[in-house]
A and B are shown apart, each in its own frame.
Chain A
C-alpha cells in the first residue's frame, strides 16, 4: 500500500515539479506582489495590504475593461460556436469535400495569432484595406473599423472568430461522428423531420462536446491578447481595453507590478468562476451518453 503510493508520487512528480515551479510558484508570487507596491525599477516591495484591490474596485476605467471583456466574450464565443456548429453539421451531412473544408477551416488556427492579426490589419486599413475597397465597389462607405469606437470591438471579434472557429469545427465534427446512425433512422421512421431530429437526437448527444467548446472558447476570449495588441492597442477610447490587455499595460508599460498582480488575481478568480458556472449549468442539460 505504502509502496504503491510512493510509486504514484514518483510517477506524478516529473509533471508536478515543473508545474509547481513554473505555474504555481509564479501564481503565488503574483498573489504576494498584489499586496505590495514597488517603484518602477526597484525590486523592493512595500506592503500595502488590500490597497491595490480597493483601487481596482474604485476605478471606473477597470469596470469599463470588465464590460469590454464581457462584450468581447459574447461577441467571440457565441458566433464561433454557432458558426462552427453550422459548418460541422453541413460537413457531416454533406456528401463530399469534408476533408478539404475541415482542413480549410483549421488553417487559420494553425497560423500564429500575430500573423493573423497583421492580415486583418491590412484588411481593415481605412485607406488601402481590401474590406472597405470591396464594400466601396458595392456602394457602401465602410467605417474606420479599428478607429471608430463603435466598430473596433466587433472588428477585433470578427478577426478572432475567423481565427478560432476551426478549432470548434474539428471538435464538433468528432462529436457528430459519435451520433449513432440507428438513432437517426429510428427517429426518421417515427416521422421526425430534420429540425426535430437535430433538436432531440443530435444536440443532446453532442452536448458534452458543446460544453467543452463553450468552456474553451470563453476562456480563450478572456485571455485574448495578441490580436488586440496588434489591431487596436486597447483603443479607440478604451473600447477594446480588456482585462488582460489592461493588466499588460499596467505591468509592462506603466510598471505597476502590484496593481497589475492584483488584476491577475482578479482575472484568475473570474476565469475559475466562469468555468465553474458553465459546468454547473451544464449539469442540468448535458447528456453524457
Chain B
C-alpha cells in the first residue's frame, strides 16, 4: 500500500517536473463569426513556437456580457474563476472595484516593450482609471450614421446631416407616411442617449464623469441631455423616427428593408450592413449640436481583464497572451474581420497605405470620428459601478417619453433619482467592503 502511494506521488511529481503546459482559461462573449475569428487568433498564439507545449489558451464562451459578468461573479465566490475574462465597457468600474483583478498597468509598468504608445488615445482613456490602464481594450466601436444613398438621391439631399437640426430636417423630408417610410431609426438603447450627450461635450456623471473621483450622481436633465431627448422625442412625434423598441436587430432590419432611410448604430456592423443591403449604403459621423464645445463620441465595446486569484506564473502567462492580442497581427485580423476598430494607430496607418480605406470608405468613418474626439472627460465616458442599472432606468424613462406617457423632465428626473439611489448604495457597499478588506488583510 505504502509503495503504491509512493509510486502515485512520484508519477504526480515527475509530471509537475516535466512542466505540464499552463492552461489559461479565457472566458469570452463573442458568438457566431466573431467567435470563430477570436478562436483563430487564439490558435495562432497556441501554435507559436515560444508557446507550444508551454502555454495553452482555452476559450470558453460564457454567453452575453450580462450573463458573463454574472457567471464570473458566481465562479469567483466559489473560488473557481478563469485567468482571463472579456468584460463589456460599462463593467469597467465594477471590475476595478471587485478586488478580483490585477490592473494591466501593473504589468505594463514592468514591461517597456508593451506598445502603450500605439494604442489610440480615446480608446486608452476609456479603460483608464486614475491614469492607470486596468484592462486591455479589445473590441472597440463607436456610433455612426448609416444612410441609404438611393433614398437620399430620390429626395434630392446632397450630403449627410452634420447637426441635430439637419438630421431632423432630412428625416422629415425622407418620411412618407403613405408608403410607410420613415426618415431615421435607431435602437431604444441608453447608449445613443449617452453618445448624443458626449457629442455635445457634456458630462453624464459628476466628478468629471467619475474620472476625477468616484461618481456620486448622474445628470439626466442637463441641457445636453434635454437636447438629446428633444431630438429623439421630437422626431418620434412628427413621425419621422421609427421607434422599433429595444434590441439591436429591429432597427437594423428597418434600415435594411428600406423602411428607414437613416440608421444610427455601431461601427461593428459596418461590413455586415453593407453586405446585406440591396441599396447603396454610405456612412457619416454622428451628428452634433453644431456648437464648438469640445466633445466626441465615446468608445464602446469590451476589454480583457487578468484575474488575481491564480499563481504568479500563470498570471504572467495571461499577460503575455494579452500582449499578443495587442500585437499588430492580432489587431489587424480582428479589425479587417469584424469592423471593430483596431486599438493601434500603426495598424490603421499601414492599412491606409495599402489602400484598405479607399476600398472601404465606410470603415473609415468611425476611425476619423474617433480621432476627432477631444481628449476631455465628456468623450471618455462615465465610470459608474451601477452602469447596467442606470441604463435600465434611462431606457424605461425613454420609453415613457417616446410613448408620450410622461414629459421628458419628469421621466428623466425619476430615472436620475433611482440611478443616484442605486449608485450611492453601491458606493457605500464598496467602501465598507474595501475598509473591511484593508483591516482584515495580511500583507500583500
Interface residues of A (CB under 8 A from B): 37-44, 46, 61, 125-128, 144, 146-150, 232-238, 249, 252-256
Q: Give the distance to chain B from A37, nearest Cβ to Cβ, in Å.
A: 6
Verify if B188 is at the interface (C-beta below 8 Å from A).
yes
B401 and chain A: residue at smallest CB distance: A237
- The answer, yes or no, to whether B66 is at the interface (CB within 8 Å) is yes
Q: Contacting chain A: which of B53-61, B151-159, B218-226, B422-430?
A: B422-430
Q: Is the CB of B388 within 8 A of A253?
A: yes
Interchain CB contact under 8 A, B257 and A127: yes
Tell me whether A254 and B389 are in contact (CB under 8 A).
Answer: yes
Return 23 A-B CB contacts under 8 Å, by A number: A39-B433, A40-B430, A41-B76, A41-B97, A61-B418, A125-B250, A125-B253, A126-B250, A127-B250, A127-B257, A144-B243, A144-B245, A147-B246, A149-B400, A150-B403, A234-B392, A235-B396, A236-B399, A237-B400, A238-B396, A254-B386, A254-B389, A255-B73
- How far, in whole Å, are A148 and B385 apart by their CA atoms in the complex? 30
| A-B Cβ contacts below 8 A, count | 100
Say if the beta carbon of B254 comes within 8 Å of chain A: yes
List A contacts of B395 (CB < 8 A): 235
B94: chain A residues at CB < 8 Å are 40-41, 255
Asked whether A144 and B244 contact (CB < 8 A) given A39-B432, A41-B97, the answer is yes
Confirm or deny: B360 has a beta carbon within 8 angstroms of a beta carbon on chain A. Answer: no
Q: Is B77 an interface residue (CB 8 A)?
A: yes
B115 adjacent to chain A (CB < 8 Å): no
* Contact assessment for B100 and A37 in the assembled complex, using a CB-CB cutoff below 8 Å: no
In chain A, what residue has the closest Cβ to B411? A237
Q: Which A-B residue pairs are the 10 nearest by beta carbons?
A: A147-B245, A39-B433, A41-B98, A237-B399, A236-B399, A39-B429, A127-B254, A237-B400, A254-B389, A252-B70
Contacts of B422 in A (CB 8 A): 254
Alpha-carbon distance A252/B405, docked complex (angstroms)? 29
- Cα separation A236 to B406 with both chains bound (whole Å): 13
Which chain A positions have C-beta within 8 A of B426?
Answer: 40
> Chain B interface: which size bin?
35 or more
B436 within 8 A of A: yes
> Nearest chain A CB to B86's CB is how many angstroms away?
17
- Which residues on A sit within 8 Å (CB–CB) of B355? none
- The answer to the question of B364 belonging to the interface, with a C-beta cut-off of 8 Å to chain A, is no
* Given A41-B73, A42-B433, A128-B253, A235 and B246 contact (CB-CB distance below 8 Å): yes
Contact between B73 and A127 (Cβ–Cβ < 8 Å)? no
Q: Tell me how far the C-beta of B404 lies from the nearest C-beta in chain A, rounded to whole angstroms.
A: 10
Encode contact with A along B178-197: 1 for CB under 8 Å, 0 otherwise. Answer: 00000000001000000000
Taking the closest CB of chain B, its distance from the CB of A96, in whole angstroms, is 43
A237–B402 Cα distance when bound, in Å, is 10
B99, CB-defined interface residue at 8 Å: yes
A215 shortest CB reach to chain B, Å = 32
Residue pair B403, A148 in contact (C-beta under 8 Å): yes
Query: Which residue in chain A gives the minimum CB-CB distance to B247?
Result: A233
Q: Decide: A126 and B77 in contact? CB cutoff 8 A.
A: no
Given contacts A144-B243, A236-B396, A254-B386, 19 further A-B contacts (CB under 8 A): A38-B429, A40-B97, A40-B426, A40-B430, A41-B97, A44-B436, A125-B253, A126-B242, A126-B254, A127-B244, A127-B250, A146-B246, A147-B244, A149-B403, A150-B403, A236-B399, A236-B403, A237-B403, A238-B396
A128–B70 CA distance with the chains assembled, in angstroms? 33
How many Å lie between the Cα of A40 and that of B73 in the bound state? 8
Give the CA-CA distance A38 to B66 in the complex, in Å.
19
Q: Is B83 an interface residue (CB 8 A)?
A: no
Considering the complex, give the chain A residue whose CB is closest to the CB of B406.
A237
Closest to B259 in A: A127
CB distance from B145 to the nearest CB of A (A): 19
Once the chains are docked, how many angstroms separate the CA of A40 from the CA of B98?
7
Q: Which residues of B sit under 8 angstroms from A147, Cβ to Cβ? A: 188, 243-246, 399
The answer to whether B429 touches A233 (Cβ under 8 A) is no
Contact B405 A237 (CB under 8 A): yes
Please indicate the chain B residues that have their CB under 8 angstroms from the CB of A148 in the complex: 403
From residue 400 to 444 of chain B, which have CB atoms closer than 8 A to chain A?
400, 403, 405, 418, 422, 425-426, 429-430, 432-433, 436
Residues of B within 8 A of A236 (CB): 188, 245-246, 396, 399, 403
Chain B residues with CB under 8 A of A39: 97, 429-430, 432-433
- Tell me whether A41 and B403 are in contact (CB under 8 A): no
Nearest CB on A from B192, distance (A):
15
Give the residue among A38, A127, A146, A150 with the most B Cβ atoms within 10 A: A127
Q: Which residue of A lies closest to B257 (CB)?
A: A127
The distance from the CB of A126 to the nearest CB of chain B, in whole angstroms, is 5
Shortest Cβ distance from residue A147 to the other chain B in the assembled complex, whole angstroms: 3
Determine the distance from Cα of A62 to Cα of B344 in the docked complex, in whole angstroms.
46
| CB neighbors of A among B289-334 (8 A) | none
Residues of B within 8 A of A127 (CB): 244, 250, 253-254, 257, 259
